[in-house]
């Protein structure tokens, strides 16, 4: 199905980005992974929601 192909491609691209960031920064910065959110992380309200995930 078209939707599953699109999702598979997105996962592949995101995995490449994550791998690259881990190679470049994992020794100097902590890397925290969060699940994909059902909303755009934009604005203070959204950041507060992310804060609760990071610091329960």
Q: How many CB atoms lie within 10 A of CB 50?
A: 13
Place of tokens 């699109």: 6
pTM exceeds 0.75 for this model: no
Predicted confidence pLDDT, tens digits, the chain (56 residues): 677 899 899 899 999 999 999 999 999 999 999 988 999 999 999 999 999 999 99
Handedness of CA 5, 24, 27, 55 (dihedral sign): negative
Lookup: tokens for 14: 């995101």
């Amino acid at each position: 199905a078209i939707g599953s192909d699109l999702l598979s491609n997105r996962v592949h691209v995101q995995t490449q980005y994550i791998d690259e960031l881990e190679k470049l920064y994992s020794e100097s910065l902590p890397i925290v992974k969060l699940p994909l959110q059902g909303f755009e992380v934009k604005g203070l309200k959204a950041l507060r929601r992310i804060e609760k995930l990071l610091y329960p």
